[in-house]
Structure 1
Amino acid sequence: MNDGEARIFMVEEPVVAAADPFDPEGRTADLSWRRDLGPELPAVTDPLVAGPGLAAWARRFGRVVARHAAHLLPVMLLVALPTHFFVGRVDDTIVAAPALADLVGGFGLLLLPAMWLAYLAVSALPLVLSLAGAAGVVLPAAAEGLRPRPGRVWALVSMRLRALWLWFSGFGLLTGGLPLLLTEEQVGTAGGLVAIVFAIGSTVALTFGGLLGCVVLVERGRGPRRAMHLLSHSRPAGLIVAAAAATVVPRMVDYAFGGLAATVAGVLLVQLWAIAALVTYGQARRAVEPVTSRSLFAELGAPEE
């Protein structure tokens, strides 16, 4: 070492411990500052809970659909019954009102609000069954690797169906009632614009309702505030697309191919919406706290107090 290159080194215990005693050039350890981040943790791969980002969400959504589509067939068959036979147009009740008036006199018109309330309640049933069925089938399978039996699926979700149904009956005002009441014939030339506005409103309601439904099913005693908190920590682009498809596509299929084809499209798209809501919920939970499919399943199976 030349005289002009002499330097002063402060040698302490960590440096001596890290130095190489067999270095032929007599160098000590590297003194450059480096933040100790600890050991690198392997990326967590969960059957349900996705990592951050839309790409991770899309991969997890595709895998959940591929793994559990066959297992959800009984749920979709159950959903098809209220979708096809009971969920109709609200303006059909307006047509039925004169017949009721003739049948039971003036009291017939008093039955019309009850018919609308019944419609809103039944129109929420496909959403309730699809979301509860997805949670009851996917969470146990993701946590334990085994397909749950129908009796166990019912035991997991039955105690929380009432609260879920109440919330979704309220959302039925946007997702089913008002868009069908305000048809193009009733509002004139503004019918197309009204349909677009309510389609957007229904998509927003289904997006928020998907997270709220998962909160009601999995977490006890929590509701809209918790759903808003999780929504603020998520990027629900996939759930928005699923909600928009479930809102718009069945009506388009109904106009083009008839009611039976619309029922098939509606059942499939609502079930995809339910899976999208569950995957979005898991991703949002992971963004705010460490969760896995096992921990979510433990919350779902926790007994009611």
Structure 2
Amino acid sequence: MDPGEAPLFMVEEPVVAAADPVDPDGRTADLSRHHVFPAPPPIDDPLVAGPGHAVWARRFGRLSSRHGVALLPVMVLAALPMHFFVGRVDDTIVAAPALADLVGGFGLLLLPAMWLAYLAVSALPPVLCLAGAVGVLIPWAAEGVRPRPRRVWRLVAERLRALWLWFAAFGLVTGGMSLLATEERAGPITVLFSIVSTAVLTFTGLLGCVALIERGRGPRRATHLLAQSRPAGLIVAAAAVTVVPRVADAYLGGFAATAAGVVLVQLWAIAALVTYAQARRAAEPVTSRSLFAELNAPEE
């Protein structure tokens, strides 16, 4: 290049378009400006909620109010095991001496079987309520028609075993904590029990949805979805299941505790499903129809 020649710079079209033709200083463009893309349209799905607690609360409130009557048979089925078994693992310790007197020294050998029976039956209320919520709400959200009981059973029956086993295993954690309570440390153990039970119910809510909808996945998948979610609503529902029935039992009696517990467990199941769908949406573009396709897929 000769000393008298000036270098040539190419000006591309976006710079020219952004230039100010009446700029007195002769500047061409402000390259610090960024193009603003329009916000994505809101998610219009009766089950899958977009991000945010307000959207979650609207989905949860709408589903709970609209389908409470449809889920009433499920709550009736869950009431019997809840009234006689939930929160009563310590009764097996009390019954052990009487059992030993009744059948001799072999009575204590039956104590592990009693515990296994307790864990199996006490897991029934959350299993039934969550399976009912999944079997009723997902087909309705996908097709706009509430399914009949036979179809609900067909959708969830083959996946209930895995759900039941997971819930019974986690019930061992929360149920066994009541054995640690004594008169001297009843207060601290009660607080610890409430915290652990709330955490377990929050996690098992997502784990139960994974077991029912996604075949062959378990705790690792639930942990991933929990990290993708903002589970404040599910935590509140889990805490209510832990605390309110105990308060009702102390002040109003066992039947009031059972009624409150059944309703709260069903609300917890709906909260778990809405949280699960919101977490799935945060990671991938799912809809009610795609969730229903997974749920309705035949077992291999």
Q: Same fold (TM over 0.5)?
A: yes
1:166-213 Cα shifts (integer Å, max 9, x gaps): 0000111233x1243233xxx232211011111101110000000000
Q: Verify: 1:178 aligned to 2:173, yes or no.
A: no
> Where do 5+ consecutive residues of structure 2 fail to align?
1-9, 18-27
Task: Name the CA distance, whole Å, in 1 between partners of 2:186 and 2:131.
Answer: 35
- Aligned position for 1:99: 98
Deviation, 1:104, is 1.5
- Report if the CA contact (8 A) 2:120-2:168 is conserved: yes
Q: How many pairs are equivalent? A: 280
Q: Verify: 1:224 aligned to 2:222, yes or no.
A: no
- Report if the CA contact (8 A) 1:211-1:281 is conserved: yes
Q: Verify: 1:130 aligned to 2:120, yes or no.
A: no
Which amino acid letter does the alignment assign opposite residue 163 of structure 2? L
Change in CA separation of 1:179 and 1:265 when aligned onto 2, cut-off 3 Å: farther
- Report if the CA contact (8 A) 1:211-1:227 is conserved: yes
Task: Name the CA distance, whole Å, in 2 between partners of 1:194 and 1:12.
Answer: 70
- Aligned position for 1:273: 268
Change in CA separation of 1:41 and 1:244 when aligned onto 2, cut-off 3 Å: closer
Identity %: 72
In the TM superposition, 1:108-123 aligns within 5 A as 108-123=107-122
In the TM superposition, 1:17-32 aligns within 5 A as none
- Aligned position for 1:189: 184
Task: Name the CA distance, whole Å, in 2 between partners of 1:46 and 1:222.
Answer: 25
Task: Name the CA distance, whole Å, in 1 between partners of 2:39 and 2:184.
Answer: 62
Which amino acid letter does the alignment assign opposite residue 289 of structure 2? R
1:20-74 Cα shifts (integer Å, max 9, x gaps): xxxxxxxxxx98765374x765322110011101111111111111111111111
SS, match of residue 189 in structure 1: coil
- Aligned position for 1:4: none
- Aligned position for 2:230: 235
Task: Name the CA distance, whole Å, in 2 between partners of 1:10 and 1:237.
Answer: 52
Task: Name the CA distance, whole Å, in 2 between partners of 1:243 and 1:11.
Answer: 59
- Report if the CA contact (8 A) 1:160-1:216 is conserved: yes
Which TM-score applies when normalising by structure 2?
Answer: 0.87
Bigger mean CA offset, 288-297 vs 99-108: 99-108
Task: Name the CA distance, whole Å, in 2 between partners of 1:128 and 1:11.
Answer: 63
- Report if the CA contact (8 A) 1:48-1:293 is conserved: yes
Task: Name the CA distance, whole Å, in 2 between partners of 1:224 and 1:85.
Answer: 29
- Report if the CA contact (8 A) 1:179-1:199 is conserved: no
SS, match of residue 290 in structure 1: coil
Which amino acid letter does the alignment assign opposite residue 161 of structure 2? R
SS, match of residue 45 in structure 1: coil
Deviation, 1:12, is 5.9
- Aligned position for 2:6: none
Which TM-score applies when normalising by structure 1?
Answer: 0.86
Task: Name the CA distance, whole Å, in 1 between partners of 2:281 and 2:84.
Answer: 39
Q: Which aligned runs of 4 or more in structure 1 are off by greater than 4 angstroms? A: 9-13, 30-34
> Where do 5+ consecutive residues of structure 1 fail to align?
1-8, 17-29
RMSD of equivalent CA atoms:
2.3
Deviation, 1:147, is 0.7
- Aligned position for 2:3: none
- Report if the CA contact (8 A) 1:218-1:296 is conserved: yes
- Report if the CA contact (8 A) 2:212-2:295 is conserved: yes
